Structure 1
Amino acid sequence: MIIAAFAALLLGALSGCSAPTRAKVVSLEKPYKPAQTGARSSYHRVRKGDTLYTIAWRYGLDLSDLASWNNIRPPYTIFPGQSLRLSYPPKQAARPRPDNRPAPARPSAATAEVQPSAKTAAPQATVKPAVPAARPAVTEGYQERTELHWQWPTSGKLEQRFSNVDPSRKGIKISGSSGQQVVAAESGKVVYAGSGLIGYGRLIIIKHNKNYLSAYGHNRKLLVQEGAVVKKGEPLAEMGKNGDGRPTLHFEIRRNGTPVNPIKLLPRRR
């Protein structure tokens, strides 16, 4: 009987050792996101060939927001090595009071930083009280239009449609023949013409008004330069080949920095 009790006790101990506590398993089907410990500011270091337009385009930001966050005014000049903020500055200084009343007895941290004091360090550019929060806009050189009437930028078969969930399909792709004419889908000002954005080849970006931009990628030859004012239907470039070696135009429309479905704005094809 004693032997049986001892055997039962030994069996229980062994069974406890054979079933250790399982560690938490993280599924690899979805990207693992660790718990956020606090907001983190993100910056872009300006490189040779960058413009404020291409930086805003690369990160899907509105140009006016990007300029405002970094206190950059028209003509939006930036320099290699410059660090640009890519998000809304925390504790941004409040707008000046219209009645010039003194601040409350307990000012915020951002306000306290700009009070004159012999021991206070020089304030950063993002907390200057005189900086307005208005959204700047480029208007020189052409008349902005509030109402836009788009046209197709080229002829050909629609090879790829827009997708809200696939980041590789921020626009549409239209197939054609090498050297085929690419035209402005609406009147505006050329704010970028070059090949500095990876994945677009030779690219043209047109600003139509304070809200809308359009882009034309994978061109063989550019026919306009930055700063040119173009009319709707005016030739911009000659169609080139995409990464697969097929003659294709990549066309995008963005509103306030966000890609929108061009098909919803372009006229219906017959």
Structure 2
Amino acid sequence: MVKCLTTLMAILVLASCSSPTKYTPRSSALPVVSSTSNAKAEKLYSDPSLSVSHVDNSPCGAVYRVKSGDSLSEIAYHCQVSMKQLAAFNKISPPYVIYKNQRLQMPEQTMQTKQKKQVTVVQKETGIAPQKEIKKEIKKPQKQPVKHQPWQWPAHESLPYRFIRDEAGLSVIDIYGIAGQDVYAVASGSVVYAGEGIVDFGKMLVIKHDDEYMSVYAHNSALLVKEGDRVQAGQNIAVLGATGSASQPKLYLEARFKGRKIDIKKVLTPPSQ
């Protein structure tokens, strides 16, 4: 149902509540990011300290071609560049959607990194090591891992649904209903994205939960929370609709862990029929 390649798009097929769960193959296309989203990305990353220019001194070269399973944070780490610079340079805004075979231009490394390289060169040529500032090491308390809680069903339990699997075998879910029905948060967390930056997903929410999982809710007719809001499990956060590329009212729900897409069946159990 998508014009361009994406791993995040759902194939629209209606299934009744009584019918067994089925799988439908998905294409590898990703939704098109709107110009509004691009402008937002530029605004988010307009800090002068993050200004970049195109160079080819990255370990990945001047251009990196996205592979299946890549996330923007992993690419930034591998290529030794700032993820914010990489996102800003390629006009990618939250929730940082990338797709297979996408060509990412590598930004120039920060001035701090350049200075470190220059000091290393001087040290090698002169044999004189620069004086190091003595800093007292302060041990930070380690964060205790938050135990994952099973997700709640995000809509009325009587609504029909269908699991849809992508090329990598990872499932998302479409829940079909009537426009105007409630959409609920699957777990407590903070809203990190609320908008229409991805054209095919329409009005979309992304919630980051306390255990580093994330939930994505797409095709809503209205969003009842905004970025930065704290939500509770089961809270009414949106209104079911048919925005974006949806041809009928439905909720598209996707699961992520540390920014990377995972199989939603690992965290969401369908209600008993």
| Structure 1 residues 190-224: Cα deviation after superposition (integer angstroms, max 9, x where no partner) | 00000001211000000114631100000001000
Which deviations, in whole Å up to 9, do the C-alpha atoms of 1:129-185 show, x marking residues without a partner?
xxxxxxxxxx9xxx9843222111112534431314179x86210001101100100
Is 1:172 the counterpart of 2:183 in the alignment? Answer: no
Q: How far did residue 63 of structure 1 move?
A: 6.4
Change (3 A) 1:62 1:188: farther
Does residue 71 of structure 1 match 2:62? no
Cα pair 1:174 1:249 within 8 Å, conserved: yes
Does 2:248 correspond to 1:264? Answer: no
Q: Is the 8 A contact 2:160 2:177 kept in 1?
A: no
Kindly report the root-mean-square deviation, in angstroms, between the aligned alpha carbons of the 2 structures.
4.5
The one-letter code of the counterpart of 1:248 is K
Once residues 154 and 226 of structure 1 are traced to their aligned partners in structure 2, the CA distance between those partners, rounded to angstroms, is: 21
Task: Structure 2 unaligned segments of length 5 or more: list them.
Answer: 1-34, 46-67, 93-97, 110-115, 126-142
* Partner residue, 2:198: 197
* Contact 1:62-1:256 at 8 Å conserved across structures: no
Q: Is the 8 A contact 1:223 1:237 kept in 2?
A: yes
CA distance in 2 between counterparts of 1:250 and 1:161 reads: 10
Q: Does 1:247 align with 2:252?
A: no
Structure with more contact order per residue of length (Cα contacts < 8 Å, sep ≥ 6):
2
Structure-1-length-normalised TM-score: 0.51
Change (3 A) 1:259 1:151: same
1:183 correspondence with 2:184: yes
Distance 2:270 2:193 in 1: 28
CA distance in 2, matches of 1:252, 1:266: 10
Q: Equivalents in 1 of 2:154, 2:148: separation in Å?
A: 18
1:199 counterpart SS class: helix
Structure whose alpha-carbon radius of gyration is higher: 1
Q: Which amino acid aligns with 1:115?
A: T
Secondary structure of the structure 1 residue equivalent to 2:39: coil
Alignment CA distance shift 1:245-1:263 (3 Å) = same
Q: Which amino acid aligns with 1:71?
A: S
The code of the aligned residue for 1:192 comes to: Y
Scaled by the length of structure 2, what TM-score is found? 0.51
Match of 1:49 in 2: 40
Q: In the aligned structure 2, how far is the partner of 1:218 from the partner of 1:191?
A: 17
Deviates more, 1:241-250 or 1:224-233: 241-250
Looking at structure 1, the residues matched to 162 and 236 of structure 2 have their Cα atoms a distance apart, in angstroms, of 23
Work out the CA distance in 1 between the residues paired with 2:87 and 2:265.
Answer: 37
Tell me the SS of whatever aligns to 1:162.
strand
- CA distance change for structure 1 residues 257 and 61 in 2, over 3 Å: closer, same or farther? farther
What secondary structure does 2:149 align onto?
coil
* Cα distance change on mapping 1:114 and 1:152 into 2, 3 Å: farther
Alpha carbons 1:144, 1:208 under 8 Å: kept: no
CA distance in 1, matches of 2:167, 2:88: 33
Structure 1 partner of 2:23 = none
**How far apart, CA to CA, are the structure 2 residues paired with 1:81 and 1:230?**
32
Counterpart Cα distance in 1 of 2:230 and 2:75: 23
Whole-angstrom distance in 2 between the partners of 1:164 and 1:219: 22
- SS for the counterpart of 2:199 is coil
Distance 1:244 1:208, change over 3 A: closer
Secondary structure of the corresponding residue to residue 250 of structure 1: strand
Unaligned runs of 5+ in 1: 1-44, 53-58, 93-110, 121-138
Give the Å deviation of 1:113: 5.5
Amino acid at match of 2:240: M
Q: Following the alignment from structure 2 to structure 1, what is the Cα–Cα distance between the partners of residues 183 and 163?
A: 18
